[in-house]
């Protein structure tokens, strides 16, 4: 998913792209998708509405943005 995100972002410069995967294996996309071109992610304030949604407090602590690289 991260490679596909990077490729799609490169093909559409200047256009916002939002991607993320679900479940345990998709958790990495929620924390470092921005480094690969995804413009947003989603965290939960209380109970998760989908598998793999991290609490917003953890996202704020661990989020990796494109400019962090």
d(CA 55, CA 48): 8
Which of the two residues, 67 and 7, has the higher pLDDT score?
Answer: 7
For residue 8, pLDDT over 90 is answered with yes
Which range (6-10, 16-20, 61-65) has the least confidence?
Answer: 61-65
In tens, the pLDDT along 29-63 reads 888 888 888 998 888 998 888 888 899 999 988 88
Length of the chain: 69
For residue 68, pLDDT over 90 is answered with no
Domain-by-domain residue ranges, the chain? 2-68
């Amino acid at each position: 998913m991260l490679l596909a995100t990077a490729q799609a972002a490169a093909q559409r410069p200047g256009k916002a792209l939002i991607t993320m995967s679900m479940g345990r294996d998709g958790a990495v996309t929620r924390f470092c998708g921005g480094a690969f071109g995804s413009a947003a992610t989603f965290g939960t304030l209380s109970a998760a509405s989908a598998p793999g949604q991290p609490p917003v407090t953890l996202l704020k602590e661990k989020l990796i943005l494109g400019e962090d690289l």
